[in-house]
């Protein structure tokens, strides 16, 4: 096993070309009648979301109980973090790929969730973690018994001390065994050996089970780039092509979105008949930079070039866009001014791609690492007012007084939750915001972030004020004003002067 390395993400600061985002039209993923490219997903850590059986831990029935809330928010897809039996709270080390963790419920509960979600036109995808298993998985327990065990070759072993010295933190001793096993993330997560045909067939069988027998709508694929070492990228790509082709033999209406922490140029090959979409970490970091520095680093140009790179690899891809996820500090803990939460949402929901909301972002939940504290309980109501409130961990950041609960925000039309509903409603009504191409606008002060979304029929202008003061913009861009979809500020028709509120946004059609 050769060295696996994590590449540093490099944000593009100067991009001069853009590209179309309508390439995905060929891909006929359309669960519940809504094309995948027009959906909005919501990421749920079940453990922390809503508790139906009053034991303090969230569960699948709790998610089902909140489907009306999610439908009211306007989302049309949910991503469940790992739900399989596991010895850890996060469950990224799986013991049984065919089961449901008992804390979360039963397979019947899962099927009820799927049925109820589909009634509301909400897709459900689940985390699929196949780079490694738990060290408590029966396969690894068998592999531990010695070289002659038939499951030994399900994992990666070596007695070569030179190889082990190249990655000392990834090779782990095993009860006096002369050979060490490879676990990239930690000793409790031994990596599968994908050169073993039996492993490949088992992983494909697991995927088929969840799609064809259980009825999930796809997977968020964990640690996609780590199946093989960095030096064997093509083998990695070919595995995911094989995986998708196998699943398509049974059901071609599913969605694969992948975690690949890497540059867009390295992600592109995976989109060629492998995964359907990859999370855009470059964009996430660029939005963070824009919000913190209050200067546009060239967001539209950067995203356009990313799509151009993707299109070089595949004429049928989707871009999974997001602010932050369960592995990152929450966006509101990185910002100084709470008003920027609305700006962050306005940016996310006016960029082409498939947006993913991390649970609690819509109410400005806070969170800083370690990981447990970016996965704190969802805040539904004031303390003691909702028996479904989870308490799996005592929150450090999203505490009473710091985060206004869902119930109170639903009653306030100036709240962040109300703003999320507004932005999502606009996006759902105007599909060009999801599927249009993006073009950056030049000759505008970098205290604004401005871009156009366009297709063959329409064009939309988007301008964001990045500073905490009312900002005036007198520009040729405003000469061809059409229907205004959203404006936080004022516009004088006779002078074509636009004044945007602090952290305000304009969304309008261009005639």
Of 422, 430, 388, which is closest to residue 405 (Cα–Cα)?
388
Model pLDDT for residues 278-308, shown as the tens digit of each residue: 999 999 999 999 999 999 999 999 999 999 9
Angstrom distance (rounded) from CA 111 to CA 95: 21
Given the structure tokens 């950056």, which residue do they identify? Answer: 440
DSSP 183-226: -SS-TTSPBB-TTSHHHHHHHHHHHHIIIIII---EEEETTGGG
Asked whether 377 and 395 are in contact (CB, 8 A), the reply is yes
pLDDT of residue 31: 55
- The DSSP letter of residue 508 is E
pLDDT digits (tens, 9 = 90+) for 402-443: 999 999 999 999 999 999 999 999 999 999 999 999 999 988
**Rounded to an integer, what distance in angstroms lies between the CA atom of residue 38 and that of residue 24?**
11
- How far is the C-alpha of 41 from the C-alpha of 39, rounded, in Å? 7
Confidence grade of residue 176 (pLDDT, cut at 50, 70, 90): confident
pLDDT at residue number 334: 98
pLDDT digits (tens, 9 = 90+) for 475-487: 777 766 789 999 9
The burial of 108, by beta-carbon neighbours within 10 Å (0-12 exposed, 13-18 middle, 19 or more buried), is given as exposed
Exposed/middle/buried for 146, CB within 10 Å: 0-12, 13-18, 19+? exposed
E strand spans, 34-166? 41-44, 77-80, 123-128, 157-158
Q: How many CA atoms lie within 13 A of 395 on its CB side?
A: 21
- Residue 315 pLDDT more than 90? no
Over residues 139-149, the mean pLDDT reads: 95
What are the domain boundaries of the chain? Answer: 23-134+196-432, 138-182, 436-510
SS3 42: strand
CATH of segment(s) 23-134+196-432: 3.20.20.80
Q: In angstroms, rounded to a whole number, what is the distance separating the alpha carbons of residues 291 and 37?
A: 26
Cα 221 from chain centroid (whole Å): 11
Which segment, 63-77, 224-238, 431-445, is predicted with the most confidence on average?
Answer: 63-77
State which H helix or E strand residue 451 sits in. strand 448-454
The reply to whether the predicted model has a pTM over 0.85 is yes
How many helical (H) and strand (E) elements, i.e. helices and strands, does the chain have? 15, 19
Local structure of 302: helix, strand or coil:
helix
- CA distance linking residue 221 with residue 83, whole number of Å: 14
Residue 469 CB burial class (10 angstroms; 0-12, 13-18, ≥19):
exposed
The edge-to-edge listing of strands for the beta sheet with 489-492 is 471-474, 497-500, 489-492
How far is 343 from 419, CA to CA, in rounded Å? 10
pLDDT band at 67 (very low <50, low <70, confident <90, very high): very high
Of the pLDDT bands very low, low, confident and very high (cuts 50, 70, 90), residue 494 is confident
For the annotated catalytic residues, the residue numbers are 222, 259
Tell me: the pLDDT tens digits for 435-461? Answer: 999 999 988 999 999 999 999 999 999
Q: What pLDDT sits at residue 162? A: 78
pLDDT digits (tens, 9 = 90+) for 199-218: 999 999 999 999 999 999 99
Q: Model confidence over 19-37: pLDDT tens digits? A: 334 444 344 555 558 999 9
Distance, in Å, from the CA atom of 395 to the CA atom of 251, rounded to the nearest integer, reads 42
What single-letter DSSP state applies at residue 394? -
**Over pLDDT 70: what percentage of the chain?**
93
CATH number of 436-510: 2.60.40.1180
């Amino acid at each position: 096993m050769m060295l696996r390395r994590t590449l540093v993400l490099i944000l593009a600061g100067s991009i001069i070309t853009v590209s179309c985002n309508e390439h995905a039209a060929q891909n006929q993923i359309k669960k519940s009648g809504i094309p995948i490219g027009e959906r909005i997903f919501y990421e749920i850590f079940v453990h922390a979301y809503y508790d139906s059986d009053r034991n303090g831990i969230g569960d699948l029935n709790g998610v089902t109980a909140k489907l009306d809330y999610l439908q009211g928010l306007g989302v049309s897809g949910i991503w469940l973090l790992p739900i399989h039996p596991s010895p850890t709270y996060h469950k990224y080390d799986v013991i049984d790929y065919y089961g449901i963790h008992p804390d979360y419920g039963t397979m019947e509960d899962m099927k009820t969730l799927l049925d109820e979600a589909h009634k509301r036109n909400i897709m459900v995808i689940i985390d699929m973690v196949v780079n490694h298993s738990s060290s408590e998985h029966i396969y690894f327990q068998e592999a531990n018994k010695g070289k002659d065990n038939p499951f030994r070759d399900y994992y990666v072993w070596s007695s070569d001390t030179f190889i082990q010295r190249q990655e000392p933190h990834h090779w782990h001793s095993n009860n006096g065994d002369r050979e060490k096993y490879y676990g990239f993330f930690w000793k409790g997560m031994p990596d599968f050996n994908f050169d073993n045909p039996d492993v490949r067939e088992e992983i494909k069988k697991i995927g088929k089970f969840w799609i064809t027998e259980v009825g999930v709508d796809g997977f968020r694929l964990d640690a996609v780039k780590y199946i093989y070492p960095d030096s064997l990228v093509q083998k990695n790509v070919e595995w995911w092509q094989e995986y998708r082709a196998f699943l398509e033999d049974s059901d071609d209406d599913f969605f694969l979105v992948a975690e690949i922490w890497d540059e867009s140029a390295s992600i592109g090959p995976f989109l060629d008949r492998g995964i359907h979409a990859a999370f855009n970490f470059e964009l996430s970091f660029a939005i963070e930079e824009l919000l913190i520095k209050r200067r546009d680093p060239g967001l539209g140009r950067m995203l356009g070039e990313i799509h151009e790179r993707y299109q070089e690899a595949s004429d049928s891809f989707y871009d999974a866009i997001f602010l932050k996820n369960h592995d990152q500090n929450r966006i509101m803990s990185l910002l100084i001014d709470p008003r920027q939460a609305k700006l962050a949402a306005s940016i996310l929901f006016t960029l082409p791609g498939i947006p993913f909301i991390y649970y609690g972002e819509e109410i400005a939940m806070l969170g800083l690492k370690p990981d447990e504290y970016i996965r704190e309980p969802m805040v539904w109501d004031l303390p003691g007012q909702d028996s479904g409130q989870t308490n799996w961990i005592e929150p450090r950041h999203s505490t009473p007084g710091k985060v206004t609960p869902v119930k109170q925000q639903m009653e306030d039309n100036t709240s962040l939750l109300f703003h999320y509903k507004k932005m999502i409603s606009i996006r759902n009504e105007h599909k060009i915001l999801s599927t249009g191409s993006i073009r950056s606008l030049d000759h505008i002060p970098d205290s604004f972030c401005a871009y156009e979304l366009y297709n063959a029929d329409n064009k939309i202008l988007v301008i964001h004020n990045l500073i905490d003061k009312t900002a005036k913009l007198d520009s040729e861009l405003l000469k061809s004003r059409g229907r205004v979809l959203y404006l936080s500020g004022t516009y004088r028709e006779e002078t074509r002067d636009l004044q945007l509120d602090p952290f305000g946004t304009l969304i309008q059609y261009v005639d």
